[in-house]
């Protein structure tokens, strides 16, 4: 079969490899669609895991072969399925604390197209191991494989939304309106929050409106007036903060400050979701939180150089030092955590116990992920798909590899 094999930093090659053999209780799935995920891009760009591997973990396809005993579990040839590559044991110390992403079983990848299991979605067939079968979902006839492929990223976003302690009507900033940020905007709206969406790209802000943002603000201060003009007009002339002793710190990007001030009656944000890997955005958003508010880090997935397995000297030629954003590079007043009781939270990966609800949200199109998909590339152009996802353009959003 054809597969795109990772051989090192930015080195993806289309190769012919054996169709994976399956054992008892396993499935062989013919891949129809696989999403390009930032976590795979990071591994490909920075070489954080040893080659060779076949990446791609947002996978949907058709059951092509059944291992012995599996038809007893209700699976049959030709079933259209969305896969889930990580399932926790539900029994260990981490799982008892609901910290599934830290569970040793969860960290094992249960789907492979060959080599060290890494998802395998950038291949024609994948082998699905028994321990991840509880996460496999049938795709209804009216829904597409692309919708099935997006269950996994939606799951990660719903997990993070559930970590926030929100009341109906709370005001939440979602910084960054890429595919993940847009999923946050919609799921937060469905959860009863009022969302302020920011991004640098006007097209993404327009989509954020469609996805339920109550306010959209262009994060680039020079362009912000035009973008939030309508909102500020609607807010009225008193939208600008009048009280210099407001709980919000004065910030240079005045328009977003106005919107937050007015939307929250000067209290500050109930929560902020950081869906861009920018420390500056974290710093500013932390200042905009009300006392007791929560800041959710969702895009700071790259460890700092000291934690890099290759050490500080391991940076590869061409690796962009600007991308190493996970080292705190601004002064953090810890009293904002202690005295102001602001929570700094993170969320990573999925929670398979939410999978049923995620499937309901996506397949009912309450969260219509079809609008998030901007490009589909054939398998042989996976490298181009990854390159585009790594360098988004105004018209690019979620990118799929299809076969
Ligand atoms: Zn993913
Ligand atoms: Zn566990």
H or E stretch including 336? helix 335-338
CATH number at residue 389: 3.90.180.10
Report which bound ligand comes closest to the CA of 41: 1
Residues of the chain with pLDDT > 90: what percent?
Answer: 79
> Token pair of 361, please?
């949200």
- In this prediction, residue 358 carries a pLDDT of 98
Same domain, 29 and 53: yes
Same domain, 41 and 65: yes
The model's pTM is 0.88
Q: Which domain holds residue 191?
A: 164-346
Same domain, 282 and 177: yes
- Provide the pairing of β-strand 11-16 with 289-297: unpaired
Cα of 362 vs centre of ligand 2, distance in Å, is 27
Same domain, 328 and 210: yes
The sign one gets for the Cα dihedral 77, 367, 35, 349 is negative
Cα of 96 vs centre of ligand 2, distance in Å, is 7
Same domain, 134 and 195: no
**How many angstroms separate the CA atoms of 325 and 339, rounded?**
27
DSSP class per residue in 61-107: EEEEEE-TTGGGGT--TT-EEE-------SSSHHHHTT-GGG-HHHH
Same domain, 143 and 174: no
Same domain, 187 and 295: yes
pLDDT over 70 at 221, yes or no: no
Q: Which domain-ending residue is among 299, 314, 346?
A: 346
Cα of 306 vs centre of ligand 2, distance in Å, is 28
Give the chain's domain count.
2
Same domain, 104 and 12: yes
Average pLDDT over the chain reads: 88
Q: Is residue 158 part of a domain?
A: no
Q: Are 48 and 39 in contact (CB under 8 A)?
A: no
pLDDT over 80 at 265, yes or no: yes
Q: Is residue 115 part of a domain?
A: yes
Residues of the chain with pLDDT > 70: what percent?
Answer: 86
Cα of 66 vs centre of ligand 2, distance in Å, is 27
**How many angstroms separate the CA atoms of 202 and 204, rounded?**
5
Cα of 137 vs centre of ligand 2, distance in Å, is 21
**Residue 259: alpha-carbon gap to chain centroid:** 26
Three-class secondary structure of residue 297 per DSSP: strand
> Token pair of 230, please?
């309508």
Q: Is residue 363 part of a domain?
A: no
Nearest of 344, 348, 304, 312 to residue 328 by alpha carbon: 304
CATH number at residue 283: 3.40.50.720
Q: Residue 327 — pLDDT band, cuts 50, 70, 90?
A: low
Same domain, 69 and 171: no
Same domain, 33 and 179: no
Same domain, 68 and 205: no
- In this prediction, residue 21 carries a pLDDT of 97
């Amino acid at each position: 079969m054809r597969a795109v094999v990772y051989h090192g930093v930015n080195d993806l090659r289309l190769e012919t490899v054996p169709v994976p053999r399956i054992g008892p209780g396993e499935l062989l799935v013919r891949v129809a669609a696989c999403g390009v995920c930032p976590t795979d891009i990071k591994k490909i760009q920075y070489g954080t895991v040893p080659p060779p591997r076949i990446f791609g973990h947002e996978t949907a396809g058709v059951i092509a072969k059944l291992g012995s005993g599996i038809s007893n579990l209700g699976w049959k040839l030709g079933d259209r399925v969305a896969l889930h590559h990580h399932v926790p044991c539900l029994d260990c110390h981490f799982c008892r604390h609901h910290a599934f992403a830290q569970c040793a079983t969860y960290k094992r990848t249960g789907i492979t197209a060959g080599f060290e299991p890494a998802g395998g979605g950038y291949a024609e067939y994948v082998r699905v191991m028994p321990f991840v079968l509880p996460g496999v979902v049938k795709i209804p006839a009216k829904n597409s494989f692309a919708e099935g492929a997006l269950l996994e990223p939606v799951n990660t976003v719903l997990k993070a939304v559930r970590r926030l302690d929100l009341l109906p009507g709370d005001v939440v900033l979602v910084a960054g309106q890429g595919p993940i940020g847009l999923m946050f905007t919609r799921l937060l709206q469905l959860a009863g929050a009022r969302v302020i969406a920011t991004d640098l790209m006007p097209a993404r802000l327009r989509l954020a409106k469609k996805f339920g943002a109550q306010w959209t603000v262009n994060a680039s201060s020079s362009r912000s007036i035009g973008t939030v003009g309508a909102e500020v007009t609607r807010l009225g002339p008193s939208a600008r903060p009048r009280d210099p002793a407001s709980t919000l710190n004065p910030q240079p990007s005045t328009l977003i400050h106005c919107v937050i001030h007015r939307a929250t009656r000067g209290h500050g944000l109930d929560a902020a979701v950081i869906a861009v890997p920018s420390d500056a955005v974290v710093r500013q958003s932390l200042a905009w939180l009300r006392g007791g508010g929560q800041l959710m880090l969702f895009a700071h997935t790259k460890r700092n150089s000291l934690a890099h397995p290759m050490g500080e000297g391991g940076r590869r030629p061409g690796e962009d030092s600007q991308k190493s954003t996970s080292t705190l590079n601004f002064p953090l007043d810890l009293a904002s955590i202690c005295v102001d009781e602001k929570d700094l939270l993170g969320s990573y990966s999925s929670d398979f116990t939410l999978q049923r609800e995620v499937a309901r949200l996506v397949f009912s199109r309450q969260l219509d992920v079809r609008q998030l998909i901007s490009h589909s590339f054939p398998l042989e152009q996976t490298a181009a798909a990854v390159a585009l996802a790594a360098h988004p353009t105004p018209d690019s959003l979620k990118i799929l590899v299809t076969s």
